[in-house]
Amino acid sequence: MKKEELLNLRNMGIVAHIDAGKTTTTERILYYTGKIYKMGEVDEGSTEMDWMAQERERGITITAAATTCFWKDARINIIDTPGHVDFTVEVVRSLRVLDGMIAIFCGVGGVEPQSETVWRYANKYNVPRIAFVNKLDRIGSDFNRVLEEMKTKLFAKIVKLQIPIYKKDEFIGVIDILERKQIIWDEESKGMKFYEEPIPKKLKDEIEFERENIIEVVAEYDDKICEKYLAGKEIATPEIKLLIRKGTIKNAVVPVLCGSAFKNKGIQSLLDAVVDYLPSPLDVEAVKGINPITNKEEVRETSDEVPFSALSFKLATDSYVGQLIYLKIYSGILRQGEIVYNVNRDKKERISRLLRMHANKREDIQEASAGDIVACVGLKFTRTGDTLSNIKNPILLESIQFPEPVISVAIEPKTQADQQKLSEALSKLQDEDPTFKVKFEAETLQTLISGMGELHLEIITDRLTREFSVGANIGKPMVSYRETIKTNSRGEGKYIRQSGGRGQYGHCIIELYPNTGNGFIFENKIKGGVIKEEYISSIKNGIEEAMTSGILGGYPVIDIKAILIDGSYHEVDSSEIAFKIAGSIAFREAMKNAYPILMEPIMKLEIYTPEPNLGEVIADINVRRGKIINLTEKASLKIVDAMVPLAEMFGYATDLRSLTQGRATYTMEFFRYEEVPDDIVKKFLDVSLYRKSVA
């Protein structure tokens, strides 16, 4: 891509609280940029972005679909992101690859709890943003109140660019403060036409005052213009725009616009603002990564001249082309037919097709450049978060971190005929979504699916029926427990069978240590070759296999260090499989004596409640074994921060609603695993079997 083209490229996401109007706004953007010819309505279930059937029904956007459109000289890649907290993983992964975003707020609801959560994520990933206050046609909407909330709740330094105009309570246009003019939309043409008029005399002073305010906020972002301003000289509109752009790219200020997506108002100015203020790939810092050969850090500038590197940020199954992988290209050029290197998997992959996506339509392209977002077909090993690079110049970019799933349900096919289809569909869904896991429990002969929340699993089971036409029965949601140990111990594993002919011989002794927060580590400390080198990894594999199902309740075992200290082998009878089994036996033996404990997911809960309900809300948290961490206040609401075991939180949405007559809202996120208190464990597990040896 030429430099001017890169400067005119915008990779942006649209994020918002659920129902603020993200889907409608995206839809209008696609309409005005000429990509679609019939405007869809969320309520009629015909929007372009929400192409999955159940998204239409629910009216919410679940998977991030990337789409490209053009506005004036700019190319805009839009990643649609979901608003529900159960899908923050989708938001996070898009923030990782975006250069900027539009945050949409509802003109009535204002800054809602989930907007704050997403805003904090955007701060964490340092994503520059502009804000759009939507739904100003609705009764009860108040642009200025939302601006105040953005200041007090989000601590945003805002740049107010517009003032809404009402005629007898009807929202008809906006005043463009910088251009000193007013824009009145033409209802008949669905807002495609609008009239520009001079501002009424009586508003002149107010507009000048607002204009001055803008300059004051952003003057510091350019020394020359700042000097001019301090010297009392007139600052021209293009200069102010440049200042706002600089401040926005620095992520120091947030330009705010307003409108009504539903009534086709304000979308053109929003698109202008995207081009004027959001960064191009050249404005953001060059990406860094590790060269896997030298282990040194390297930088890849956003340029076609440097070796190719890209991050895969989304896998999706497409009914026409099969598996699609979305890539953000950070450097170099990617060509159709080319072979690239997957650094994470150490595999070469061929790009058989390169596509530019428009929701569920696609356009084949021959090549794509640094800074762009595209989808490709033909990759066999690549998963979400992997780096692809030029074969000769490998680099490993920082991956996207995904949380472990915390909730599971048992799933079974409705009929025999569904059996095969079910396992295929689940495996596809697992490939797409790094926070969705499938596991077969050998002991209970059950398949368990796990995810990030009740709604997450509900959507998945919905997709099974709709997209994959599989009938399945679902059990009750269950907490995904983990097991670990509290003390050191030793275990011996012998797998010896000698009955004529070639037998089996595997023998090892291991020690286990708690390894809190550091996962699984295996060390080999045997002396004098008492076990042949070739069998060591089999012992490790045996331990890892045993760890998938712990001795307490068959839950995965985490945070353990295993040291191989002794054993023996037989010249003829020993085999890899015999040592693998010996490793498993030794592990189970050792774990019994290591004070095994059960760990449960603890959730971070944030509740917004009116003062009169505070007492009941807190009492209820205590009943749920929760701990109150903090109590603060924002606007007229009390905010309760608490840590609560997930096991106590099923159905909380309904309970909180009835407790507060629907006045309180909350957000919940996974925080960490903690030990389950013994009195709770005893209700469903017999730990006494393993606790005798401990004083």
Nearer to ligand GDP by C-beta: 262 or 341?
262
Nearer to ligand GDP by C-beta: 44 or 633?
44
Nearest distance from residue 106's CB to ligand GDP, in Å?
A: 8
Closest residue by Cα to residue 425 from 470, 378, 390, 472:
470
Say if strands 129-134 and 158-160 run parallel, antiparallel, or are unpaired. unpaired
Tell me, what DSSP letter sits at residue 380? S
Nearest distance from residue 266's CB to ligand GDP, in Å?
A: 9
Nearest distance from residue 56's CB to ligand GDP, in Å?
A: 10
Nearest distance from residue 136's CB to ligand GDP, in Å?
A: 7
Say if strands 387-389 and 309-318 run parallel, antiparallel, or are unpaired. antiparallel
HSE-up of residue 273 (Cα within 13 Å, Cβ side):
28
Nearest distance from residue 93's CB to ligand GDP, in Å?
A: 18
User: How far apart, in whole angstroms, are the C-alpha atoms of residue 262 and residue 255?
Assistant: 21
Please report, for the chain, how many H helices and E strands are present, in that order: 18, 38
Q: Which two tokens stand for residue 241?
A: 């725009």
Nearer to ligand GDP by C-beta: 143 or 522?
143
Nearest distance from residue 78's CB to ligand GDP, in Å?
A: 13
Residues engaged in binding ligand GDP (CB under 6 A)? 16, 18-24, 42-43, 59-61, 83, 134-135, 137-138, 260-263
Nearer to ligand GDP by C-beta: 61 or 613?
61
Nearer to ligand GDP by C-beta: 21 or 645?
21
Nearest distance from residue 12's CB to ligand GDP, in Å?
A: 16
Q: Which residues contact 615 (CB under 8 A, 6 or more apart)?
A: none
Nearer to ligand GDP by C-beta: 32 or 555?
32
Q: Which residues contact 188 (CB under 8 A, 6 or more apart)?
A: none
Nearest distance from residue 262's CB to ligand GDP, in Å?
A: 3
Closest residue by Cα to residue 107 from 72, 149, 79, 77:
149
Q: Which residues contact 585 (CB under 8 A, 6 or more apart)?
A: 491, 492, 493, 494, 495, 542
Nearer to ligand GDP by C-beta: 134 or 489?
134
**Could you give phi then psi for residue 75, rounded to 5 degrees?**
-105, 130
Nearest distance from residue 260's CB to ligand GDP, in Å?
A: 4
Beta carbons of 136 and 107 less than 8 angstroms apart: yes
Nearest distance from residue 41's CB to ligand GDP, in Å?
A: 6
Nearer to ligand GDP by C-beta: 162 or 369?
162
Q: Which residues contact 373 (CB under 8 A, 6 or more apart)?
A: 11, 66, 68, 77, 79, 97, 326, 327, 328, 329
Q: Which residues contact 667 (CB under 8 A, 6 or more apart)?
A: 85, 113, 114, 117, 605, 606
Q: Residues in the chain, how many? A: 695
Nearer to ligand GDP by C-beta: 18 or 242?
18
Nearer to ligand GDP by C-beta: 266 or 550?
266
Would you say the C-alpha torsion 72, 74, 75, 81 has a positive or negative sign?
Answer: negative
Nearest distance from residue 326's CB to ligand GDP, in Å?
A: 20
SS3 for 98? coil
User: How far apart, in whole angstroms, are the C-alpha atoms of residue 497 and residue 32?
Assistant: 75
Closest residue by Cα to residue 17 from 102, 112, 107:
112
Nearer to ligand GDP by C-beta: 60 or 242?
60
